[in-house]
Structure 1
């Protein structure tokens, strides 16, 4: 190993780049996008050049380039125009998901999501897979919209819960994710995954309604550092009063996400 250069463990690279370790390993094993050094015990060590390559990969994925096209693009074997115009691989992934939904095949859908959620960073997965699939499901001419949307939301939620549960063992930074939406919105669980990816041990409280005094005591006793309130709908007047009391009587960092951040944009400024 070259002692004059700095090397980083996979956990450090995840923190630096925002790409989780599962995805970094998938990029190496499945696509040969990375080739980190190994210690004598087999642990991966990444150089500054590797980190720069990861950032380039993220740039191309953010532009909509399919993961299978990134390596030839980086290696100069594919020109930029062809890579950005060729949506075949990405469309195949979405088509496979839609086929599983048409067949109401939850097991196949789960298997597809496991693979895609390993290969793509969360923001890319949401933008190029989740949003696209949801748009296709909700087309007016789709006679199976209700059953397909129900299956899609159910499997996404289950997959996110599995990822969150696995991560709980690895993090001591406590974060509570609250939602007052009735009924529960499945994108709440995507938000939970985002927070988990940021290194938080996330507790999710969906469909909250009523007094929050007991929650305030819990946040204080557990020394919870962050509370995120997710919502796509207006919070009722009664629940808004409770939330304001919670914010005033605890010392956590609060954040509003989803449409609620626009609807109640002055909430945190008032507190």
Structure 2
């Protein structure tokens, strides 16, 4: 029977090893074998189970409910993302940095980055951004904690084997969102650095030999698409971050 390391499974399933460990230790969702050296070893059945867990979580089921669903229980599974959004807002309104950092770290361990960003973090930021000044101040408070957490994650990912890349904001003023997109890219095997300030006109020639990603926060304009294609034709390794 073929056995896989946690790193191999993480790459194959698109799940961070930290998340796999949380699913195992905190929720008992996985029971990998151990090598003689004590390292986790997964087989094909484990991988199928991980894919099933991932499908449940991405559909909005709280990870704490997944084990019961895997065992055949019938549960109400429609409140997942809304519940996490409300939990995050409740912690945010306490205005206690340590609690907010702890909540973000817990959510980051237990959920894939893509789904957490799209279904929890971005909806909360949008909701706060539409409200009055107090909520907008809380949104800024949240953004600071998010950047702090993402920077920690990016540093950890740079210690692993991977491909180096630089993420550049292109005519976008949403700096916190740029960091979230860097986190998303880091989960795809990239060791990401972030250019702190967005640029009106990026200069790929300043970063020879480096994989570049540009992020605009919206669909590329026709001019931007043409410019991107010109850079690529000139031999620069540059792409739009989705």
TM-score (norm: length of structure 1): 0.79
Shift of 1:235: 8.0
Cα distance in 2 between the residues matched to 1:131 and 1:71:
27
1:93 CA drift (Å) = 3.6
Q: Separation in 2 of the partners of 1:92 and 1:232?
A: 26
Alignment correspondent of 2:68: 72
Match of 2:119 in 1: 128
Deviation at 1:217, TM superposition (A): 4.9
Q: Does 1:216 align with 2:205?
A: yes
Question: 1: distance between equivalents of 2:207 and 2:14?
Answer: 30
Q: Name the structure 2 match of 1:153.
A: 143
Q: Which residue of the partner structure matches residue 215 of structure 2?
A: 230
Q: CA deviation at 1:95?
A: 2.8
Name the CA shift for 1:211/1:124 in 2 (closer, same or farther; >3 Å): closer
Of 70, 74, 77, 1:84 maps to 77
Specify whether residues 52 and 208 from structure 1 end up closer, same or farther in structure 2 by C-alpha distance, changes over 3 A only.
same
Two-structure CA RMSD over aligned residues (Å): 2.6
8 A contact 1:210–1:242 mirrored in 2: no
1:255 aligns with: 239
CA contact (8 A) 1:211 1:242 kept: no
- Structure 2 regions of 5+ residues with no counterpart? none
Large movers: runs of 4+ above 6 Å: 234-242
The Cα shift of 1:149 comes to 1.3
Q: 1:38 corresponds to which residue? A: 34
Pick from 88, 97, 101 the counterpart of residue 88 of structure 2: 97
Selected match of 2:129 from 138, 153, 156: 138
TM-score under structure 2 length normalisation: 0.88
In the alignment, the residues of structure 1 paired with residue 33 and residue 202 of structure 2 have an alpha-carbon distance, to the nearest angstrom, of 54
Larger Rg belongs to: 1
Please state how far the C-alpha of 1:218 moved relative to its aligned partner: 2.8
